[in-house]
Chain A
Amino acid sequence: MDFLLSEDERRFQESVSEFAKRHIEPRWIEIDEKGRIPLELIKSMGDQGLFAIPVPDKYGGMGGTVLMAALAIEEIAYHDPAVAVAVYALLNNGWPLALSLFGSEAAKQEILPKVASGDAFFGIGSTEPQGGSDVAGTRTVARRSGNKWVVNGEKTYISGVREIQELPAGGGFFLVSKAESAEYGHRNMVDFALLPKWNGKMRDGWKPTVYDDIGRHGLSTGGFKLEDFEVEDDLRIGDVGKGFYLLMEGFNIARVLVAAATIGSARWALDRGAEWLRSRRLFQGRPLASFEGISFRFSELYAELEAAKYFVYRAAWMIDKTYLENPPRFKPKDLNVPVSLAKMKGPETATRIYEEVLKWLGAYGYTKESAVYRGWLGTFSYTIGAEGTQNIMRYIIARDVIGSEYVSHTG
C-alpha cells in the first residue's frame, strides 16, 4: 500500500496550487462579495485544463483521473475558501465524467469539448420543489415524441442557472426525469443532457429564477420550470428505466469532489487558525497555542481533517479503479460506502473546524474583515446537504453495513 501521491499527481497538484495562488486567491473575497465569478477566470481555468479532468482526451478532456480532479478541487478550495470557484470546477468535472461514461457518442462529441474549454457549463439538475433526497418521487416527466422527448416539470436549488445564461456557449444539466408517467418508483426514470442554452442560443420552454443564498455567493443557485422543453433523443443519457441508477453513479463521483472542496477550504481555515495561535498573545505574552484547551482542540480537528482527507483520496482512487481501468477492480455499488463516508466527514469536519477557528479569533472573527466567515458559510451548504444530504449519507452507510433488509424503508 503506497500512501504517497505519484510524481505526476504531485506535479499536477503543484501546478493547480500555483494557478490558484496566482489567479484565484487574489479574487476570492471579491467573488464572494460581488456574487460572481468573472467569465475570464472561468475561461482561463478552461485554458489551464481544470475542467473535465477525468474525461478522455478524445472528447477534449485532460485524460486524467478522479483522484487528480479531487486534488485539483482541494487546491482550488484552499485558495477559495468560500468555495464558489471550487464548486463551479467540481460540477464541471464530475457531471462531464458521468456524461462521458453513460451518454451517447454524439452528445459527448458535442458537449464535452466546450465544457473542457470553459465555454459551457454542465452541472446537475435533480432536486425538485417537493423533495431532493427522494429521487423516486421525481415529478418531472419526459414523453417521447418521434425523434425527441418533450419534458415538463420543475427543478429547484440547482447550481449554475445564471452562469448558463452568461457563458458564451451556454450549457446545461445532467437532468433526471420520469419516462412517460410520474408514477412513484425507481425503474421508470430516464436521464438527459438538457441544454437550455447551446451554441449561444436560448431554447424555448426553460423558465429560470435565481435565488439569494446566504453564502458561496459566487456561484448561482436557482430553479427552473420546463414547459414543453424539447430534447433530442441523442441527448438522452443511458437507457430508459436506468435513469435512477445512472444518477446514483453520477452522484458518487460528484460527492467525492464535494468532499474534496470542503477539506481544501477547511485546511485553509486550520492553517489560518494555526497562524493565529502562534501570533496571538495573552496573559502576559503567552501565545494562544500554549493553552492546552486550545492546542488540544487543534489536534483533534487536525486528526479529523486528515481522516476526512484520506476518505476522499481512497474513494476517488476506488472510483478510478471502477470506471477508468479495464478490467474494473470494483463494481459501482462498492463505491456507496466509501463515497458516503467521504461526503459525510468532509463537510461536517469543515463546519467543526470553522466554528472552532472563529472561536479562537473571537470578536475579530465576527467581523467581515477577517473573511473566515465566508468559508464557514460556503462549506456549510454541504453540511446542510447539497449533492446528497448528510442524513442520506448516514442512511447509505447503515443500509450497506447493517443490511438493507433491516434498514431500508423504501419498497
Chain B
Amino acid sequence: MKILVAVKPTFDIGQLKFEKDGTPLLDACPVSLGEADRCALEEAMRIKERLGATVAAATVGSSEAHYKAIRDSYAMGADEGYLVKADDPWKLDALSVASAIARVAAATGPYDLVLTGSGAGDTHASVIGPMIAGILGIPLIAGVDRLEVRGPGVVAGTCKLEDGSYTYEARTPAVVTVTSEANAPRIPNLRAILRSKGMQIREMSAEELGVDLRRLEPLSVRKYEIKRKRIIYKAEDQKGAAEASAELLAALRSEGVLS
C-alpha cells in the first residue's frame, strides 16, 4: 500500500499574542506540526505496521518550519518526504495548496490513500482534503475518528457529524481527513529524531509540478474581540418570565449556542 500524508506546520494559537493595536505577533509564535496532521500520520503508521505500506509526507512551503514538519514526519516513521518550495507560504490560498499536493500525488504515486488532518488549527480550516479529492476525482471521507482498511482496495471511516455518526466505506484510491480525536499520535524517541536528521527531503518546484501558486493578501488581520450584545430580557412576573425565557432560548438557538 502507498499512503501520502499532507502535513502543514501551524501556529500554536494558545501562545499567540497581540500588539496593543491588535496585530498578531506571528514571528514570536511557536510553530509546529498540527495535532490533526499528527493524527493523520499516526493512522498511516498504524496501517503500515499492520499491513505493510510506504508512507510519504508532503508539505507546501519553504520556511524552516516546513522542513522541520517533514523531519518530524520522518521521526514518526514516514519513508519519503516531499516539499514544494514556496516563499511566503502562510498567504497561499487553499486551492493552490491542494493543487500542489494533488500534483505531488500524481508525480510520486499512485497512492491508495491520501490522508490529512481535518482542520489546521490556524487557517484553511477543513477544505484542503476535500479539494484534493475534488481535483483527483476520488472519494472523500472527511472528519474520521476511526479508520480501518476493510480489505484490498476498501477503506472505511467513521465520522461524528452534527446530527450523528456516519460510517463511510469507499474503494481506494480515496482521500481521508483525520480529526485530532482519532488517536494519540506516537511521540518519537531520540533514536528516531536523530535518524530523521539524516534523511533526504525531496524538494520540488511549482514549475516542475505545473501548478500555479496564488497568494491572498489580507487587507488587515487583527485580534478578534467578541462584541457584547448587551441585550436584556426583562420580566415583571411569572408569565413574563416564561415568555422572556422562551425568547432567550430562541435567541441562543439561533446564535448556535444551543444545539
Contacts and interface: CB of A to CB of B under 8 A. Distances in A.
Interface of A: 7-8, 11-12, 14-15, 18-19, 22, 48-49, 53, 57, 62-64, 68
Contacts of B194: 8, 63-64
B72 interface: yes
Contacts of B190: 12, 15, 49, 53, 62-64, 68
B171 interface: no
Contacts of A18: 187
A49 B72 CA distance: 17
A62 B189 contact: yes
Interface of B: 32, 68, 71-72, 75, 184, 187-191, 193-194, 197
Contacts of B32: 14
Given A8-B197, A11-B75, A49 B184 contact: no
Contacts of B197: 7-8
Given A11-B72, A11-B75, A48 B189 contact: yes
A333 B58 CA distance: 50
8 contacts: A8-B197, A15-B187, A15-B188, A22-B184, A49-B190, A53-B190, A62-B191, A63-B190
A163 B68 CA distance: 39
The 4 closest A-B pairs by CB, nearest first: A49-B189, A62-B190, A19-B187, A64-B190
A63 B191 contact: yes
A87 B132 CA distance: 49
B191 A11 contact: no
A8 B192 CA distance: 11
B193 A15 contact: yes
Contacts of A57: 191
Given A8-B197, A22-B184, A49 B68 contact: no
A12 B193 contact: yes
A14 B12 CA distance: 13
Contacts of A63: 190-191, 194
Contacts of B188: 11, 15
Nearest to B197: A8
A22 B35 CA distance: 14
A66 to B, nearest CB: 13
Given A22-B187, A48-B189, 18 more contacts: A7-B68, A8-B193, A8-B194, A8-B197, A11-B71, A11-B188, A11-B193, A12-B190, A15-B187, A15-B188, A22-B184, A48-B187, A49-B189, A57-B191, A62-B191, A63-B190, A63-B194, A64-B194
Contacts of A14: 32
A333 to B, nearest CB: 30
Contacts of A62: 189-191
Contacts of B189: 15, 48-49, 62
A11 B184 CA distance: 18
A57 B72 CA distance: 21
A11 to B, nearest CB: 5
Nearest to A62: B190
Contacts of A53: 190
Contacts of A19: 187
A277 B108 CA distance: 55
B224 to A, nearest CB: 22
A49 B191 CA distance: 8
Contacts of B71: 11
Nearest to B189: A49
Contacts of B75: 11
Nearest to B188: A15
A7 B191 CA distance: 14
Q: Which of B32, B72, B184, B194 gathers the greatest number of chain A CB atoms within 10 Å?
A: B194
Contacts of A12: 190, 193
Nearest to B196: A11
A63 B197 CA distance: 14
A69 to B, nearest CB: 10
Contacts of B68: 7, 11
Contacts of A49: 189-191
B176 to A, nearest CB: 25
B74 to A, nearest CB: 11
A22 B185 CA distance: 11
Nearest to B72: A11
A48 B194 CA distance: 14
Contacts of B72: 11
A44 B79 CA distance: 25
B173 to A, nearest CB: 32
A15 B33 CA distance: 12
Contacts of A64: 190, 194
A57 B191 CA distance: 9
Contacts of B193: 8, 11-12, 15
Contacts of B184: 22
A320 to B, nearest CB: 14
A67 B187 CA distance: 20
A57 B190 CA distance: 11
A64 B191 CA distance: 8
A40 to B, nearest CB: 15
A68 B191 CA distance: 12
B49 to A, nearest CB: 15
Nearest to A19: B187
